[in-house]
């Protein structure tokens, strides 16, 4: 459990943990452990950062599995795992160079409204990308973060006892080729992009982490 409880402390108002590169299944298990600890009051609100080994995840939306275009043989040949997830949303890809954020925060003293939480989480990413030179926006009727019709970040969340888990994934330096094996988020009239693709340079992922952390606690740092 690399970094699982290394930073969070109940004596702090909130914490950030960085798990480095993880398998999706491991990170999911660790999230559930943190959710229980948050529910029991053993840790404060915590934002987890990670990058995943290549994996396609299928969310809880009905029909999401139909948006997988590659068969198991192709996935195996490309070294991509396939995982079903209980997060909201459709199908997406995670891989190295993509920043994944898992907020483990309590909504019990906030507005218990999952849609409001999604919009607030989107705003965190929009603000962070804006600080880093990208004019990102929402797209009406679609969850996630966009540069016109190019999707740069995906969001899919879940709650248990009003403790949040799962979260967001921002394409930074990751290879975009694996998105060809899916219809990302089930949206056919869009493409996928990354910060590197848009800005034309390799991005310092730590700079993105710092920006996201600042914006996240601006939004969620007070009950």
Nearest-5° Cα angle at 58, 55 to 61:
160
- Cβ neighbours of 190 (radius 10 Å): 17
Beta strand 191-192 with 150-160 is parallel
Q: Are 24 and 47 in contact (CB under 8 A)?
A: no
Rounded Cα distance between 60 and 165, Å, is: 14
Whether 185 is a known active-site residue: answer: yes
- Cβ neighbours of 135 (radius 10 Å): 10
Whose tokens are 């948050």? That residue is: 38
Encoding tokens for residue 220? 């969620």
* CA dihedral (209, 214, 219, 220) positive or negative: positive
The one catalytic residue in 64, 185, 195, 205 is 185
- Cβ neighbours of 70 (radius 10 Å): 17
C-alpha torsion angle, residues 58, 82, 184, 3 (rounded to 10)? 80
Q: What residues act catalytically?
A: 185
């Amino acid at each position: 459990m690399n970094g699982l409880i290394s930073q969070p402390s109940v004596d702090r108002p909130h914490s950030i943990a960085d798990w480095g590169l993880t398998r999706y299944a491991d990170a999911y298990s660790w999230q559930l452990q943190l959710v229980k600890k948050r529910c029991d009051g053993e840790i404060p609100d915590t934002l987890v950062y990670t990058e995943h080994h290549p994996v396609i995840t299928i969310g809880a939306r009905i029909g999401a599995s139909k948006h997988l275009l590659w068969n198991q043989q192709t996935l195996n040949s490309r070294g991509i795992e396939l995982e079903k997830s209980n997060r909201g949303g459709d199908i997406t890809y995670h891989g190295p160079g993509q920043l994944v954020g898992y907020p483990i925060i309590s909504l019990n003293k906030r507005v218990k409204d999952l849609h409001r939480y999604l919009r607030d989480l989107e705003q965190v990413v929009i603000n962070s990308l804006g600080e880093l030179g990208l004019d990102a926006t929402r797209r009406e009727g679609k969850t996630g973060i966009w540069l016109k019709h190019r999707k740069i970040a995906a969001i899919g969340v879940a709650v248990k006892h009003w403790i949040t888990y799962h979260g967001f994934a921002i394409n930074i330096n990751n290879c975009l080729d694996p998105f060809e094996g899916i219809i990302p988020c089930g949206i056919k009239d869009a493409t996928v992009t990354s910060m590197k693709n848009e800005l034309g340079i390799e991005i310092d992922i730590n700079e993105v982490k710092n920006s996201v952390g600042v914006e996240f606690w601006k939004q969620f740092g007070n009950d």
